């Protein structure tokens, strides 16, 4: 019985260590530039050992995506508590993603990978549909969870497209935010007066402050969560 407990603990810890080292490299070198070989080398494990737990790098990305969506959930709850406006919280969370990706190539590379990979994309659609249902169901009482999911099939494509087209002098970030939010809100049947109000509030907010500390908060949250998973696995028994 004692041997089984030790084996179980080591197995869980290895899983979380792989996720932590992968995330650290994704956030420092970029998802595209991080190879499975590099992850194995830093952990001093064989490729076969890693693929036993995660068949591909994209499987690791899925685990990290779950932590990233938790970060977004915290952002939404914080905004709701501060402004008491669910629609504004919805828009500011999307703006957070746009601004982070626009000013940090590593974050953009990570989100593009999430929006491109079928596993992570499926998870994001389901998570976002449920998030939007809980956030906006009072405003949209006729919308079912399934309807939110159908809308998200289109909205995810809009968000991914926004990430692939960087801003320029002729296409400033304010225009990108306005266009993306307006499109998403239209698909969600938000009336024009409400769309104009909330988009205007976002553009007048201090969303630009995200550039200064957003990446550090994002990185710190992900790594601290994954480190906690390692610590919990070490104490498991």
What does the pLDDT look like over 201-227, one tens digit per residue?
999 988 777 666 778 889 999 999 999
Per-residue pLDDT reduced to its tens digit, 137-159: 999 999 999 999 999 999 999 99
Q: What DSSP assignment string belongs to the chain?
A: -HHHHHHHHHHHHHHHHHHHHHHHHHHHT-STT--HHHHHHHHT--HHHHHHH-SSHHHHHHHHHHHHHHHHHHHHHHHHHHH--HHHHHHHHHHHHHHHHHH-HHHHHHHHHHHHSHHHHHHHHHHHHHHHHHHHTTT-TT--HHHHHHHHHHHHHHHHHHHHS--BTTB-HHHHHHHHHHHHHHHTT--HHHHHHHHHHHHHSSGGGHHHHHHHHHHHHHHHHHHHHHHHHHH--
Q: Under a CB-based contact definition with an 8 Å cutoff, are residues 212 and 206 in contact?
A: no
Cα 177 to Cα 42, 102, 108, 198, 202: the distances in Å are 39, 11, 15, 12, 9
Residue bearing the bigger pLDDT, 235 or 3: 235
Predicted pLDDT at 207: 76
Question: What's the pLDDT at 237?
Answer: 52
- Whether 9 shows a pLDDT value over 80: the answer reads no
How far apart, in whole angstroms, are the C-alpha atoms of residue 203 and residue 27? 28
Identify the pLDDT of residue 235: 83
Residue 127 pLDDT more than 70? yes
- Residue among 181, 234, 226, 191 at smallest CA distance from 16: 226
Q: Are 225 and 5 in contact (CB under 8 A)?
A: no
Per residue in 41-86, pLDDT (tens digit) is 999 999 999 999 999 999 999 999 999 999 999 989 998 998 999 9
pTM of the model: 0.90
Residue 131 predicted with pLDDT over 80 = yes
Closest CA to 64 of 233, 221, 213, 217: 221
Q: What pLDDT does residue 228 have?
A: 95
- How far is Cα 118 from Cα 160, in angstroms, rounded to an integer? 13
**141: number of Cβ within 10 Å:** 7
pLDDT at 90 over 70: yes
Answer whether residue 112 shows pLDDT above 70.
yes
- 118 Cβ neighbours under 8 A, 6+ residues apart: none
Q: Where are the domains of the chain?
A: 2-59+219-235, 68-212
Does the pLDDT of residue 4 top 70, yes or no? Answer: no
pLDDT tens-place string over residues 154-207:
999 999 999 998 999 999 999 999 999 999 999 999 999 999 999 999 999 887
Q: What is the pLDDT of residue 234?
A: 87
Output the pLDDT for position 210.
Answer: 67
């Amino acid at each position: 019985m004692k041997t089984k407990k030790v084996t179980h603990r080591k197995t869980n810890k290895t899983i979380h260590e792989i996720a932590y080292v992968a995330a650290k490299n994704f956030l420092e070198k970029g998802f595209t530039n991080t190879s499975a070989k590099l992850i194995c080398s830093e952990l001093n494990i064989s490729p076969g050992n890693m693929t036993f737990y995660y068949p591909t790098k994209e499987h690791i990305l899925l685990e990290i995506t779950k932590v990233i969506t938790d970060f977004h959930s915290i952002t939404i709850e914080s905004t709701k508590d501060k402004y008491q406006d669910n629609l504004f919280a919805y828009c500011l969370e999307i703006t957070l993603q746009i601004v982070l990706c626009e000013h940090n190539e590593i974050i953009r590379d990570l989100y593009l990978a999430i929006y491109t990979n079928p596993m992570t994309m499926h998870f994001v659609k389901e998570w976002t549909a449920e998030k939007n249902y809980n956030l906006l169901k009072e405003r949209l009482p006729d919308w079912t969870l399934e309807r939110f999911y159908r809308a998200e099939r289109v909205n995810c494509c809009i968000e991914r497209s926004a990430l692939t087209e960087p801003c320029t002098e002729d296409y400033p970030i304010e225009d990108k935010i306005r266009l993306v939010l307006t499109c998403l809100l239209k698909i969600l049947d938000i009336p024009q007066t409400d769309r104009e109000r909330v988009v205007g509030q976002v553009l007048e907010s201090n969303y630009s402050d995200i550039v200064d500390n957003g990446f550090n908060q994002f990185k710190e949250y992900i790594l601290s969560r994954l480190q906690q998973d390692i610590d919990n696995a070490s104490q498991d028994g």
